[in-house]
């Protein structure tokens, strides 16, 4: 079912969900939503992954969000994620093509959470 679907990745939409909303109209215009295949194949390994985005093209908002939640849930359940508490000198690397990642606001320190 997912093989030929498209996902719309809206950076500004995702940032707003995290509370980052102080963007100028020029910033919104410079970072418009982009389309990606919902199912991607890693160019080197051939392994397939799901591109989790802000909207599934061709689906209503409610149905698309429900589908995305169903895809995200098993990849983010307890024991499958990594949360990094940053310290001076830290360096964290991941394959951006295969790892869900999100920076989180924190009152203590910057954090990055990876799942899947």
Homologous superfamily of 6-115 in CATH?
A: Clavaminate synthase-like (3.60.130.10)
Residue 31 CA, chain-centre distance (Å), reads 15
pLDDT of residue 53: 77
In tens digits, the chain (116 residues) has pLDDT values of: 888 999 888 888 878 877 888 888 898 899 898 998 999 888 888 988 888 877 899 999 899 989 988 988 888 888 888 888 889 999 988 887 777 777 666 655 444 555 54
Break the chain into its structural domains and give their ranges.
6-115
pLDDT of residue 60: 93
pTM assigned to the model:
0.67
Cβ neighbors of 86 (< 8 A, separation 6 or more) are: 109, 110, 111, 112
pLDDT of residue 114: 52
pLDDT of residue 115: 53
Nearest to 10 by CA among 51, 70, 71, 62: 51
pLDDT of residue 107: 55
């Amino acid at each position: 079912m997912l093989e030929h679907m498209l996902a719309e990745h809206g950076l500004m939409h995702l940032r707003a969900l995290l509370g980052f909303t102080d963007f100028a109209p020029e910033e919104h215009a410079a970072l418009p939503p982009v389309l990606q295949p919902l199912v991607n194949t890693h160019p080197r390994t051939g392994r397939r992954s799901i591109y989790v985005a802000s909207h599934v093209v061709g689906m209503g908002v409610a149905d698309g969000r429900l589908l995305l939640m169903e895809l995200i849930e098993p990849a983010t359940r307890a024991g499958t994620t990594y949360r990094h508490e940053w310290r001076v000198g830290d360096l964290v690397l991941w394959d951006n093509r295969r790892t869900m990642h999100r920076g989180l606001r924190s009152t203590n320190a910057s954090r990055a959470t990876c799942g899947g």
